[in-house]
Amino acid sequence: QQPVQSPQAVILREGEDAVINCSSSKALYSVHWYRQKHGEAPVFLMILLKGGEQKGHDKISASFNEKKQQSSLYLTASQLSYSGTYFCGTENGGSQGNLIFGKGTKLSVKP
């Protein structure tokens, strides 16, 4: 079942913060986050594993609540380079490593 992402789109000014949510109706083994710029391939940002954890690098971090089957991606002090579409990909316990992707959240950062 496709995870649900919210919001569908968000517009920020440089320096503002954003949160993107990803929710699944199934028990999850892991959650991936990817960013895709227009006309390019998705690029891996981070993976969060079952066990409930938080990860981050630079000003982008994420959390995974295993019990609620939810993950959130946090972008702080946004930069123009953060613009793009963010996808979460969820992996279920028996999926052999296959990801089901959400429909994406389009993030636009304005000067």
Partner 1 sequence: NAGVTQTPKFRILKIGQSMTLQCTQDMNHNYMYWYRQDPGMGLKLIYYSVGAGITDKGEVPNGYNVSRSTTEDFPLRLELAAPSQTSVYFCASRGGGRNYGYTFGSGTRLTVV
- Which residues of this chain interact with partner 1, rule CB under 8 A? 2, 29-30, 32, 34, 40-47, 49, 87, 89, 91, 96-104
Closer to partner 1 at the Cβ: 17 or 53? 53
Closer to partner 1 at the Cβ: 54 or 77? 54
Which residues face 60 on adjacent strands?
Answer: 57, 75
Q: Are residues 27 and 13 in contact, defined by beta-carbon separation less than 8 angstroms?
A: no
Shortest CB 85 distance to partner 1, Å: 9
Closer to partner 1 at the Cβ: 97 or 111? 97
Cα 70 versus chain centre, distance: 10
Shortest CB 22 distance to partner 1, Å: 11
CA-wise closest residue to 45 among 27, 28, 31: 31
Shortest CB 76 distance to partner 1, Å: 22
Beta-carbon neighbour count of residue 107 at 10 Å?
A: 21
Shortest CB 83 distance to partner 1, Å: 17
Closer to partner 1 at the Cβ: 100 or 111? 100
77 class by beta-carbon count within 10 Å (0-12 exposed, 13-18 middle, 19+ buried): exposed
